[in-house]
A and B are shown apart, each in its own frame.
Chain A
Amino acid sequence: MDAKYATGRVGRVATWVLLVLCSLAFLYPLVWLVSASLKGRGQVFDNALVPETFHWGNFATVFHELPLLPWLFNSLAIAVLAAVTVAVSSSMVAFGFAYFRFRGRSLVFGLVLATMMLPGAVTMVPVYLIWRELGLLGTWAPLWAANLFGSAFYIFLQRQFFLGLPRELFEAARIDGAGYWRLFTRIAMPLAIPSFVIVLLFEFQASWNNFQSALIYLNSESIEDFTAPLGIAYAMTKYSPTAGGQGDYQYVMVASLLITLPMLALFAFGQRYFIEGVATTGTKG
């Protein structure tokens, strides 16, 4: 009995030690990023976690060195458009699947689930041609407008939530003469705010981080039109010594930090939503 208790305690201490070590490993690149963003030219590679001298000026200079302000604005505007449109359209479609009983419903919903498994690379080329045909290349539309039609995972998420609402709620409103649209806007949506927020946060993050679409659709001559991820990729090359730069990587680090911070803030605000949302993918998918 005593021996068992001892191994339990040793085990517990070992668990904590391992967790602390893993946390340090996971945290190290981010701490390194913060310190690198405060270093002077050529000091990034000294790898000291506390800079020799703190170059706070980097955070001002970077806005002259790179069009970071327009990049951040473009990213923000696109992310808001993408998140709001996909959250609204997906909720509407989800309500259609959750409330109404009609023939073909489960078949179509099966199709929705099937599209989640479809690799995006497969439709990359034709989708590009569709936007080209519509004359929208070089605009923001390809980066968000497809969200008007809802997105499978979010439809799934919202439908799960709507299915959890008691049906009597809707029946009572029906008897009071409410139409279907009112059921959706006045009863279902106000109650679905928590999962609506999950959708908003997820899509905002996805859009904010999106690199490939920006690379395909915004590869124009004027770098001011870039989104922040595309801009940082450009900056990585600009300062690279092999491409004729001076190795001023501290600016790339400042820019990287500045696009990471909003995500960390979002996480601080919606941690519960994020982790719940991700966990839902696994347990119910």
Chain B
Amino acid sequence: MSRDVETAPFQAVAAEAGKPRPGHGPRLTARRRETLAGWLFISPWILGFLIFTAGAMVMAAGLAFSDFNLATGEARWVGARNFAQLVDDPRVATSLGNTLFFAVLSVPLEIAVALGLAMLLARVGRGAGIFRTLFFLPKMTPMVATAAIFFLLLNGSQGAINQGLRLIGVQGPQWLVDPDWIKPSIVLMSLWAVSGTMVIFLAALKNVPRELYEVASIDGAGGWRRFYNITMPMISPALFFNTIVLTIAAFQTFDQAYLLFYRDQSNAAPEASLFYAVYLFQQAFRQFNLGFAAAMAWVLFVIIMIITAVQVRVGNRFVHYSGRD
């Protein structure tokens, strides 16, 4: 009796489905509808990808081999000429060198400071909230405000930082003038806003099981050994992620350098502040050498891909994913 009631609706569905289209199973139609709906839902992204990513990349490749006249909109094929000019232009090499130097200086420092702060926060447990908030405020400060503040703080003769250094008897450098101190100045600004990286480390540190430390302590492991043998492997995925993201960002550094040195076009900016992205911008939007700029963009893309690939290879050897041993 109850059996009949239960199966009745299914029989009805089967009967109905069997009617309209012999040869096609109803399941297939439902499946097709699901497929169609799925593609429809993701279609905005696909459209955007085809235009603004894939299309743009192909366009950039085409531009890199052309001489593009912005006024007429005509592109003339010039072969590898843009790339040849790129090799000959000493400012490309300068900007690449500056950017590389900045990345090598800033990424390890940002990682170290972010990890240090995160470890301090992880140690206090309760009460960490207020400090975490304070550390996060610079991250919320718009870059242009940060640049305006540090532009004045880093003033060589009157800036607050050098005045402070003078108090302890140190003659501070001409931060924004001395070519040797320009990149450290920008590193300082990056360090001020390092809390995004810090928060990722903090989340990773909280996931390290406390028992591991307790067991290690009983075994007589000191602080340094606990850090090296437990903390480092356990947070290695976060370390890996932060390193890759910060490196990619470092290679695209633009705002800080532009705001501090290139905003005022009547002034000649020091060579040491010429970052790759700044030179690319100048070539594209000040000189309108769009072909040359597109070639520069592709070179940057290849460089970032190579560096990321190397980091992934090295990372795979050291990164420990729990649950995947």
Q: Spell out A's residues near B (CB within 8 Å).
A: 11-12, 15-16, 18-19, 22-23, 26-27, 29-30, 32-33, 36, 44-45, 47, 89, 92-93, 95-97, 99-103, 105, 108, 111-112, 115, 117-130, 146, 148-150, 155, 180, 184, 205, 208-209, 211-212, 215-216, 219, 228-229, 232-233, 236-237, 240, 242-243, 249, 252-253, 256-257, 259-260, 263-264, 266-267, 271, 274-275, 278-279, 281-283, 285
Task: Report the separation of the CA atoms of residues A105 and B121 in the bound assembly, to the nearest whole angstrom.
Answer: 41
User: Chain B residues with Cβ under 8 A from A29's Cβ?
Assistant: 138, 146, 149-150, 153, 192
Of B42-50, B178-186, B226-234, the segment with at least 4 beta carbons within 8 Å of chain A is B42-50
B52 touches A127 (CB 8 A): yes
Contact status of A263 and B142, CB under 8 A, knowing A124-B280, A275-B199:
yes
A146 touches B48 (CB 8 A): yes
Q: Which 10 A-B pairs have the closest CB atoms?
A: A149-B48, A96-B41, A100-B38, A282-B200, A279-B203, A126-B59, A256-B145, A96-B42, A45-B158, A123-B56
Of B17-25, B83-91, B103-111, B297-305, the segment with at least 4 beta carbons within 8 Å of chain A is B297-305
B143 at the interface (CB under 8 A from A): yes
B266 at the interface (CB under 8 A from A): yes
B35 at the interface (CB under 8 A from A): yes
Task: Report the separation of the CA atoms of residues A83 and B248 in the bound assembly, to the nearest whole angstrom.
Answer: 24
> Which residue from B45, B53, B153 sits with its C-beta under 8 Å from A123?
B53
Chain B residues 131-157 with CB under 8 Å of chain A are 131-138, 140-153, 155
- Closest Cβ–Cβ distance, residue B243 to chain A (whole Å): 11
B219 at the interface (CB under 8 A from A): no
User: Chain B residues with Cβ under 8 A from A184's Cβ?
Assistant: 41
Most A CB contacts (10 A, CB to CB) among B123, B140, B196, B285 go to B140
> Which residue from B37, B135, B242 sits with its C-beta under 8 Å from A26?
B135
Contact status of A233 and B149, CB under 8 A, knowing A93-B45, A242-B264:
no
Residue of B nearest to A258 (CB): B145
What are 26 inter-chain pairs, A to B, with CB distance below 8 A? A15-B124, A22-B135, A26-B192, A27-B134, A29-B138, A30-B141, A89-B44, A100-B35, A123-B53, A125-B290, A149-B49, A149-B52, A150-B44, A212-B254, A215-B258, A236-B259, A237-B263, A260-B145, A267-B140, A274-B140, A279-B202, A282-B203, A282-B237, A282-B238, A283-B204, A285-B241
B160 at the interface (CB under 8 A from A): yes
Contact status of A180 and B37, CB under 8 A, knowing A126-B294, A211-B255:
yes
B248 touches A117 (CB 8 A): yes
A263 touches B141 (CB 8 A): yes
B63 at the interface (CB under 8 A from A): yes
Residue of A nearest to B58 (CB): A126
- Closest Cβ–Cβ distance, residue B34 to chain A (whole Å): 5
B38 touches A19 (CB 8 A): no
User: Chain A residues with Cβ under 8 A from B204's Cβ?
Assistant: 282-283
> Which residue from A19, A96, A124 sits with its C-beta under 8 Å from B120?
A19
User: Chain A residues with Cβ under 8 A from B97's Cβ?
Assistant: none
**Contact string, B149-173, partner A, CB cutoff 8 A, digits 1/0?**
1111101001110010000000000
B100 at the interface (CB under 8 A from A): no
Task: Report the separation of the CA atoms of residues A36 and B263 in the bound assembly, to the nearest whole angstrom.
Answer: 22
> Which residue from B38, B53, B251 sits with its C-beta under 8 Å from A118?
B53
Task: Report the separation of the CA atoms of residues A222 and B152 in the bound assembly, to the nearest whole angstrom.
Answer: 27
> Which residue from A117, A121, A155, A271 sits with its C-beta under 8 Å from B300?
A121
Chain B residues 199-250 with CB under 8 Å of chain A are 199-204, 207, 237-238, 241-242, 245, 248
Residue of A nearest to B160 (CB): A47
Residue of B nearest to A147 (CB): B48
B45 touches A149 (CB 8 A): yes
A125 touches B138 (CB 8 A): no
Task: Report the separation of the CA atoms of residues A205 and B141 in the bound assembly, to the nearest whole angstrom.
Answer: 9
Q: How many A-B residue pairs have CB under 8 A?
A: 271
A148 touches B34 (CB 8 A): no
A278 touches B200 (CB 8 A): yes
B319 at the interface (CB under 8 A from A): no
B57 touches A123 (CB 8 A): yes
User: Chain B residues with Cβ under 8 A from A15's Cβ?
Assistant: 120, 123-124
B35 touches A102 (CB 8 A): yes
A102 touches B149 (CB 8 A): no
Residue of A nearest to B217 (CB): A4
A26 touches B134 (CB 8 A): yes
B39 at the interface (CB under 8 A from A): yes
> Which residue from B39, B117, B196, B207 sits with its C-beta under 8 Å from A102?
B39
> Which residue from A123, A155, A215, A283 sits with its C-beta under 8 Å from B200?
A283
- Closest Cβ–Cβ distance, residue A143 to chain B (whole Å): 14
User: Chain A residues with Cβ under 8 A from B274's Cβ?
Assistant: none
Task: Report the separation of the CA atoms of residues A93 and B88 in the bound assembly, to the nearest whole angstrom.
Answer: 45
13 additional A-B residue pairs with CB within 8 Å, beyond A119-B300, A228-B144: A122-B57, A125-B294, A126-B60, A128-B285, A130-B52, A148-B48, A155-B45, A212-B254, A229-B143, A242-B267, A260-B141, A279-B203, A282-B238
> Which residue from A27, A125, A242 sits with its C-beta under 8 Å from B137?
A27
Residue of A nearest to B124 (CB): A15
A127 touches B143 (CB 8 A): no
Task: Report the separation of the CA atoms of residues A118 and B48 in the bound assembly, to the nearest whole angstrom.
Answer: 14
> Which residue from A36, A126, A283 sits with its C-beta under 8 Å from B238?
A283
A259 touches B49 (CB 8 A): no
B252 at the interface (CB under 8 A from A): yes
A150 touches B135 (CB 8 A): no
Task: Report the separation of the CA atoms of residues A25 and B160 in the bound assembly, to the nearest whole angstrom.
Answer: 12
